Amino acid sequence: MNETSPTAVNADPQGPWGPLEPGQEVTVRESGRQSGHGVIDNLTPDGSVVWVRIDGHAPRRMYLAGDAVEIAPKHA
């Protein structure tokens, strides 16, 4: 039995937010405004759904590909 969880290893690198992977620090912008920094908790294989822990807190937030949100890698 192949037990795999949805991770960036299986994700479409051209998904709606580009290449993201669990543990990656990101900036989240909703409706054009920065809503915070977070960490990718998980994502679906096709990248259409992503879960982010904003500011490292639980519960995590789920974003869908059609949501008005921008999730981008956090730059140092």
- Contact at 8 Å (CB) between 39 and 20? no
Rounded mean pLDDT for each run of 10 residues along the chain, 76 residues in total = 42 66 92 86 91 85 91 83
> Any idea which residue has 């490292």 for tokens?
56
Angle made by CA atoms 67, 69, 72, in degrees to the nearest 5: 135
Domain of residue 52: give its range.
1-76
Query: CATH number for the domain including 45?
Result: 2.30.30
pLDDT score for 3: 43
Total domains present in the chain: 1
Count of residues for the chain?
76
pLDDT score for 76: 57
